[in-house]
């Protein structure tokens, strides 16, 4: 173990010696003397400064005689400006003194407020009973118990419901005409269907069907043979159109469209 430590120490010493030799060689190779560079820079600076001073001294001096002449003329002009004499303020001072004396001589009369004080005292005594009555009236008013306001919520709700019914009245319920199965007295709700979509139904025939009580496709789609005969007997010059143009089948298809009116409620 001691031999190993001695060997390590020898190697470390050899490495230190080699490192020192290498450092010495490197510094000797890369060393530069900066003293000469410093002296050279100092001499260049001194030469530049001397040259600058010589060039500055060689410049011609400025001629200030014209400016001096202008200043002299300006000074003479200022001295020649006439200055007015100070005004005589003695008369004004005398007037101010007289005004001050007159103001001090004004006597302000002191009014006799005893009668007014006596009248105010009399009015106060006369108003004492009135003040007493007002105090009693205030106590009586504060003693009055006002009952709580009634609950107007149900009344307001009923008024709102009535107003809603007035603004949006319910649609009238249809009535079936006597002697028929689904002929209506008036349209159930909304606008009637456009019956001119049926083949062979012009506008004049549509108005005739309204008078008979036909307003919707669902009415025609529900007709039985007896209903067809009954309505056909009411069409005057348009008889035979119902069976010839097959209104029942057409109305069944049109009643299923979204634009067709639904079947309204009936009154019995």
Q: Give the model's pLDDT for residue 149.
A: 67
Q: Give the model's pLDDT for residue 33.
A: 60
Q: Give the model's pLDDT for residue 268.
A: 46
Q: Give the model's pLDDT for residue 170.
A: 55
Q: Give the model's pLDDT for residue 265.
A: 60
How many Cβ atoms are within 10 Å of 62's Cβ, its own excluded? 7
Q: Give the model's pLDDT for residue 31.
A: 62
Question: Would you give the DSSP letter of residue 14?
Answer: H
CB-based contact 241:247 (threshold 8 Å)? yes
Is residue 184 classed as helix, strand or coil in its secondary structure?
A: strand
Cβ-defined contacts of 168-173 (< 8 Å, 24+):
171/264, 173/264, 173/265, 173/266, 173/267
Token digits for 46? 């001194």
Q: How many residues does the chain have?
A: 268
CB-based contact 184:227 (threshold 8 Å)? no
Per-residue pLDDT for the chain (268 aa), expressed as one digit of tens each? 788 888 898 999 999 999 999 888 887 777 666 677 778 888 999 999 999 988 888 877 777 888 888 999 999 998 888 877 777 888 988 998 999 988 888 887 777 888 888 888 888 888 778 788 888 888 887 888 767 767 778 878 888 877 776 676 555 555 666 656 788 888 876 689 999 999 989 999 999 999 999 999 999 999 999 999 999 998 888 899 999 999 999 999 999 999 888 876 655 4
How many Cβ atoms are within 10 Å of 184's Cβ, its own excluded? 21
Question: Would you give the DSSP letter of residue 266?
Answer: B
Residues whose CB is less than 8 angstroms from the CB of residue 111 and which lie 6 or more positions away in sequence, other chains included: none
The Cα–Cα gap between 248 and 244 comes to: 11
Q: Give the model's pLDDT for residue 217.
A: 92
The Cα–Cα gap between 17 and 12 comes to: 9
Q: Give the model's pLDDT for residue 173.
A: 58
Closest CA to 248 of 217, 218, 220, 227: 220
């Amino acid at each position: 173990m001691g031999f190993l430590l001695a060997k390590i120490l020898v190697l470390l010493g050899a490495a230190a010696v080699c490192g020192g030799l290498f450092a010495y060689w490197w510094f000797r190779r890369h060393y530069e003397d900066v003293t000469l560079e410093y002296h050279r820079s100092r001499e260049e600076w001194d030469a530049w400064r001397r040259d600058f001073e010589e060039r500055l001294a060689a410049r011609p001096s400025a001629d200030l005689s014209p400016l001096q002449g202008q200043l002299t003329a300006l000074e003479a002009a200022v001295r020649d400006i006439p200055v007015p004499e100070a005004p005589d303020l003695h008369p004004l001072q005398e007037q101010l003194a007289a005004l001050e004396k007159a103001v001090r001589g004004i006597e302000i009369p002191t009014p006799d407020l005893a009668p007014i004080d006596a009248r105010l005292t009399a009015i106060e005594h006369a108003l004492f009973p009135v003040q007493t009555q007002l105090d009693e009236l205030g106590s009586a008013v504060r003693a009055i118990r006002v009952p709580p306001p009634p609950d107007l919520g149900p009344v307001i709700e009923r008024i709102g419901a009535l107003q809603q019914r007035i603004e949006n009245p319910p649609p009238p319920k249809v009535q079936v005409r006597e002697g028929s199965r689904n002929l209506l007295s008036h349209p159930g709700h909304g606008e009637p269907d456009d019956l001119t979509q049926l083949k062979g139904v012009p506008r004049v025939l549509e108005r005739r069907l309204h008078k008979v009580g036909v307003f919707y496709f669902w009415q025609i789609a529900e007709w039985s043979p007896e209903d067809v005969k009954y309505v056909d007997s009411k069409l005057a010059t348009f008889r035979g159109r119902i069976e010839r143009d097959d209104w029942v089948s057409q109305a069944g298809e049109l009643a299923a469209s979204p634009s067709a009116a639904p079947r309204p409620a009936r009154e019995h």
